[in-house]
């Protein structure tokens, strides 16, 4: 079991299954909510459960072709990622309280990274989306 929560503790969640991926996302939404990029844990939506504070989760879906919502705690503003739209969750790793037991393996949406930021590791890079077999 992997536990997670927001900064103020209003929102709590658990991930029961094994995540598929831990990735660095450089999409414009992650950059604007988390900084240069966001570390995101990806897995099957059925493995994620909100255990506290569901009513405190604000959801933002831009008017683009984005596949995932941007969720955050209404009280403290902690970025939560996407709390399971469709078949997958894409949870902000910064909200995890426990070690997910996997390490980052790739960068996604690298075409959206700022020009001034240089990726200097040897992880796989994808210009756009990458959803592993979850």
Kindly state whether residue 130 falls inside one of the protein's structural domains: no
Strands (E), the chain: 2-5, 12-15, 21-25, 38-44, 48-52, 57-60, 70-73, 79-85, 88-92, 106-108, 124-125
pLDDT of residue 134: 45
Q: Is residue 134 part of a domain?
A: no
User: Rounded mean pLDDT of the chain?
Assistant: 88
- Domain with 61 in it: 2-125
Query: Number of folded domains in the chain?
Result: 1
Distance CA 73, CA 82 (A): 12
CATH number at residue 21: 2.170.150.70
Reduced to 3 states (helix: H, G, I; strand: E, B; else coil), residue 47 is helix
pLDDT (tens digit per residue) in 36-93: 888 999 999 999 999 999 999 998 876 666 666 789 999 999 999 888 777 889 999 9
Confirm whether 69 is domain-assigned: yes
Q: Does residue 78 lie in a domain region? A: yes
């Amino acid at each position: 079991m992997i536990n997670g929560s927001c900064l103020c503790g209003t929102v709590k969640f658990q991930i029961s299954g094994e995540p598929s991926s831990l990735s660095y996302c450089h999409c414009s939404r992650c950059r604007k909510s988390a900084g240069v990029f966001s570390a995101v844990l990806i897995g099957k939506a059925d493995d994620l459960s909100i255990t506290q504070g569901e009513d405190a989760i604000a959801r933002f879906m831009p008017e683009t072709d984005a596949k995932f919502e941007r969720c955050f705690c209404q009280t403290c503003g902690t970025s939560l990622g996407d709390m399971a739209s469709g078949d997958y969750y894409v949870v902000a790793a910064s909200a995890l309280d426990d070690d997910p037991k996997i390490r980052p393996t790739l960068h996604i949406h690298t075409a959206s990274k700022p020009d001034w930021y240089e990726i200097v590791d040897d992880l796989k890079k994808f210009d756009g989306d990458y959803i592993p077999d979850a």
